[in-house]
Amino acid sequence: MIGELLIIFIGVVLVNNFVLVKFLGICPYIGVSKDLKSATGMGVAVIFVMTMASAATWLIYHYLLAPSPSNIWFRILGDGIDPSSFNFAYLRTIVFILVIAALVQLVEMIITKTSPALHHALGIYLPLITTNCAVLGVTVLNIDIFFKEGQAVPWSLLKSLTQGFGAGVGFTLALILMASIRERLELADIPPSLRGAPIAFLVGALMSMAFLGFSGLI
């Protein structure tokens, strides 16, 4: 069990890194990687929201949308009806994006009330996370991998949480590495037309090549 979770975690941090291999969350990767401090802030906020979103969307999919015997609509109304007639899986995209938007708002409100210091550090990054495709990406991926025909695989919730947390860690790893390199690049002699975004993509190419080296790991 622990081994299985560890494989999921390492798989999503190194082998299938969300930014460098799967191309999820490229916008913040290029936009927020100019200095190390904001990269760290963004990374921590993303880990937090991804883990929460993985749990929330798993629960909603399992109990409200999927055509399984544990579907709440089936339990209330399903006397003698086949559970597959309660299949709301096609609402996945709409429901998930709304859940993520609400969650981000909720997290922001809680942090503002309980910890002004944390809010000061993460505040400006939280609204950006709603449209970070890595967050919606990990929740959809969880459903694709950890549900078979609408039925949750064993330990599905724990696996989803691990994948959500790992994806956030992988994102943060890529973001922090990128920010550290770009701080050095400030002093480098770059051809004028490559300054800014182009050189960031070329650095991304080299990092992505390095991460390809992990591909035989699991």
The site for another protein (CB under 8 A) is made up of 20-27, 30, 90-94, 97-98, 101, 130-133, 136-137, 140-141, 144, 191-195, 197-202, 204-206, 208-209, 212
Our CB check for another protein shows the closer of 116 and 127 to be: 127
The minimum distance between CB 99 and another protein, in angstroms, equals: 11
Nearer to another protein, 30 or 64 (CB): 30
Phi, psi of 176, deg, nearest 5 = -70, -40
CB of residue 28 vs another protein: minimum separation in angstroms? 10
Closest approach of Cβ 25 to another protein, in Å? Answer: 7
Q: What is the 3-state secondary structure (H, E, C) of 11-73?
A: HHHHHCCCCCCCCCCHHHHHHCCCCHHHHHHHHHHHHHHHHHHHHHHHHHHHHHHCCCCCCHH
213 CB-side CA count, 13 A: 5
* Residues whose CB falls within 8 Å of the CB of residue 25, separated by 6 or more in sequence, listed in order: 18, 19, 46, 132, 133, 134, 137, 171
As measured in angstroms, the least distance from the Cβ of 9 to another protein is 20
What would the two tokens of residue 23 be?
């191309």
Per the CB < 8 A criterion, the answer to whether 101 and 53 are in contact is: no
**Rounded to the nearest whole angstrom, what is the least distance from the CB of residue 136 to another protein in the complex?**
5
Kindly tell me which of 121 and 190 has the beta carbon lying closer to another protein: 190
In the complex with another protein, the residue whose CB is nearer, 121 or 185, is 185
Q: Which is nearer to another protein, 6 or 197 (CB)?
A: 197
